Amino acid sequence: MKAFEYATALSTDSARELVAGHGAYLAGGNDLLGLLKEYLVPGPDILVNIKSLPGLNKIERGAKSWTIGALVTVGEIERDAEIGKVFPGLRDAAMEIASPQIRNVATVGGNLAQHSRCWYFRHRDTVCLKKNGDLCYARNSENRYHSLFTGNDCISPVVSSLATTFAALDATAVVLRDGKETRMSMAELYQKAWKEVTAHNSLNPGDLILKVEIPTARGRSAYLQVSDKHAFDWALVSCAAAAEAAGGKLKSPRVALGSISPVPHQVEAANQFLDGKTLDDATASKAADMILAGATPLEDNGYKVPLAHALIRRTLLKLKGEA
């Protein structure tokens, strides 16, 4: 690991000044320290501890929206009884992340900003497209865990369980950029990764996720994932759904898939199709067909298509307690 300076920031302005484009923010450190130890990212000149930044470790509850600070841990989301009532899908997503020990350290901001889990990117001796190489090795080699949809030659998917659920809840990330607060939907937070092979998200050097704002309008939410192992494993496919319920019918529904695209995968036409519908198996299956239209499976990941289809149907039916 390259030598670096270390500093603790006591304000967001000082944190931004200390990082200054040549440093890195440190909170839980679960992803960052591994990247540095394996020389997978250029070593920063300075690590800036942000765990003492005021206000970013709070959950603020309102009638129309909640705010979850970027330093709130995944474990806190898992254990918050009120989150379980207001945003059950978010609670369920948090429960699926890693192990209890990691959830007690991992932060919301870190989960959203984590880098690719592609094994070619993570191999220190492989210079793939994401590391400014000339080839996406996964395309013509082992691609069991990779994307069904992508806008560029890299097929590494987003793996943040929280991002998938936040997308279904229509949440907004508030990012400190150039000294100003910038609001991004989950699609916008990852859009750069859809377009550019070297990007993991849309954050620029020095950008800092401050919080996530979640509207409370969608009173029903659900999250499911399928993994190789029952616990402590990345999702092969994840699905989140959220909606209002009026007279037994869905209102303003949102469905998002994770681990199949560089962004949380949503299809607006499917959301519009579900709007005003009474959920049954046929309706949920039709929505799944629409969401997965255009999928481009590779040699080893074609299994994700029927898996995602079943997961969409089950997650939607879970909104009404029938999955």
pTM for the complete prediction?
A: 0.96
pLDDT at 246: 80
> Which of 179, 188, 187 has its CA nearest to residue 207?
179
Residue bearing tokens 């907004």? 172
Say yes or no: 46 and 163 in one domain: no
Looking up residue 27, the CATH number of its domain turns out to be 3.30.43
Q: How many domains does the chain have?
A: 2
Quick one: 44 and 70 in the same domain? no
Domain of residue 198, residue span: 59-113+156-318
Q: Are 319 and 241 in contact (CB under 8 A)?
A: yes
What's the pLDDT at 294?
A: 95
What stretches of the chain show up as alpha helix (H) in DSSP?
12-19, 32-37, 74-79, 81-86, 88-95, 100-103, 108-113, 119-122, 161-168, 186-195, 268-274, 281-292, 304-318
Task: State residue 292's pLDDT score.
Answer: 98
- Both 217 and 305 in one domain: the answer is yes
Looking at residue 322, what is its pLDDT? 54
Q: What is the largest CA-CA distance in the chain?
A: 61
Give me the residues of the chain with pLDDT under 70, please: 321-323
User: Does 143 fall in a domain?
Assistant: no
